[in-house]
Amino acid sequence: MYKRTGGKSGQSAFSLFIWYTVANSYTKKGCSIMKGFVHEGSSWGLKDMPVPAAAPGEAVVQLKYAGLNRRDLYIPARRGNQGDALILGSDGAGIIESIGQNDAGLKAGDEVIINPALRWKKNSPAPPEEFDILGMPDHGTFAEKIVISADQLEKKPEFLSWEEAAVVALAGVTGYRALFTKGGIQAGMTVFIPGAGSGVATFMIQFAKAAGARVIVTSRSEAKRERALGIGADKAIDTESDWSTELKNEVIDLVIDSVGGTVFNRSLEILKKGGRMVIFGATTEDTVDFNLRSFFYGQYELLGSTMGSKQELTDMLAFMKQHKIRPVLDRTYSLQESESALNRLQESGQFGKIALKITE
* 43: CATH: 3.90.180.10
Q: Are residues 284 and 337 in the same domain?
A: no
What is the pLDDT at residue 281? Answer: 81
In-domain check, residue 313? no
Give the pairing of strands 271-279 and 252-257: parallel
Question: What gap in Å lies between CA 295 and CA 299, rounded to an integer?
Answer: 6
Residue 186 φ/ψ region, left for φ over 0, alpha for ψ in the -120 to 50 degree band, beta for the rest: beta
What is the DSSP secondary-structure string of 129-186? Answer: TT-EETTSSS--SSBSEEEEEGGGEEEPPTTS-HHHHHHSHHHHHHHHIIIIIIT---
**How distant is the alpha carbon of residue 40 from its chain centre?**
22
Give the pairing of strands 190-193 and 252-257: parallel
In-domain check, residue 320? no
Q: Are residues 119 and 216 in the same domain?
A: no
What is the pLDDT at residue 26? Answer: 39
Q: Which of 89, 116, 2, 92 is nearest to 346 (CA)?
A: 2
Q: Are residues 86 and 22 in the same domain?
A: yes
Provide CB contacts within 8 A for 115, sequence distance 6+. Answer: 152, 153, 154, 169, 310, 313
Q: Amino acid letter at 12?
A: S
Q: Are residues 58 and 118 in the same domain?
A: yes
In-domain check, residue 238? yes
pLDDT string in tens for the chain (360-residue length)? 443 333 333 333 333 333 333 334 333 344 589 999 999 988 899 999 998 789 999 999 999 999 999 999 999 988 988 778 999 999 999 999 999 888 888 999 999 999 999 999 999 999 999 999 999 999 999 999 999 999 999 999 999 999 999 999 999 999 999 999 999 999 999 999 999 999 999 999 999 999 999 999 999 999 999 999 999 999 999 999 999 999 999 999 999 998 877 788 999 999 999 999 999 987 766 788 888 889 999 999 999 999 999 999 999 999 999 999 999 999 999 999 999 999 999 999 999 999 999 998
Question: What gap in Å lies between CA 92 and CA 101, rounded to an integer?
Answer: 22
In-domain check, residue 348? yes
Q: Are residues 108 and 212 in the same domain?
A: no
Q: Are residues 191 and 298 in the same domain?
A: yes
Whether the Cβ atoms of residue 69 and residue 90 lie closer than 8 Å to each other: yes
Question: What gap in Å lies between CA 248 and CA 185, rounded to an integer?
Answer: 22
What is the pLDDT at residue 260? Answer: 74
Q: Which of 356, 313, 311, 360 is nearest to 335 (CA)?
A: 356
What is the pLDDT at residue 154? Answer: 97
Q: Are residues 85 and 112 in the same domain?
A: yes
Q: How many domains does the chain have?
A: 2
Provide CB contacts within 8 A for 310, sequence distance 6+. Answer: 115, 117, 120, 121, 122, 151
Question: What gap in Å lies between CA 65 and CA 48, rounded to an integer?
Answer: 18
In-domain check, residue 200? yes
What is the pLDDT at residue 3? Answer: 37
Virtual torsion, Cα 159, 161, 162, 165, nearest 10 deg: -50
Torsion angles phi and psi, residue 177, rounded to 5: -65, -45
Q: Are residues 236 and 130 in the same domain?
A: no
In-domain check, residue 318? no
Of 289, 304, 319, the residue at which a domain comes to its end is: 304
Question: What gap in Å lies between CA 94 and CA 90, rounded to an integer?
Answer: 13
What is the pLDDT at residue 68? Answer: 98
Q: Are residues 43 and 112 in the same domain?
A: yes
* 260: CATH: 3.40.50.720
Residue 156: Cβ-neighbour burial (10 angstroms; 0-12, 13-18, 19+): buried
In-domain check, residue 323? no
Whether the Cβ atoms of residue 106 and residue 112 lie closer than 8 Å to each other: yes
Q: Are residues 162 and 275 in the same domain?
A: no
Q: Are residues 333 and 277 in the same domain?
A: no
Residue 348 φ/ψ region, left for φ over 0, alpha for ψ in the -120 to 50 degree band, beta for the rest: left
- Domain containing residue 228: 173-304
Taking CA atoms, 198 is separated from 108, 168, 260, 290, 345, in Å, by 34, 13, 14, 26, 9
Question: What gap in Å lies between CA 299 and CA 170, rounded to an integer?
Answer: 32
Question: What gap in Å lies between CA 140 and CA 91, rounded to an integer?
Answer: 8
Q: Are residues 84 and 177 in the same domain?
A: no
Q: Amino acid letter at 190?
A: T
What is the pLDDT at residue 24? Answer: 40
In-domain check, residue 249? yes
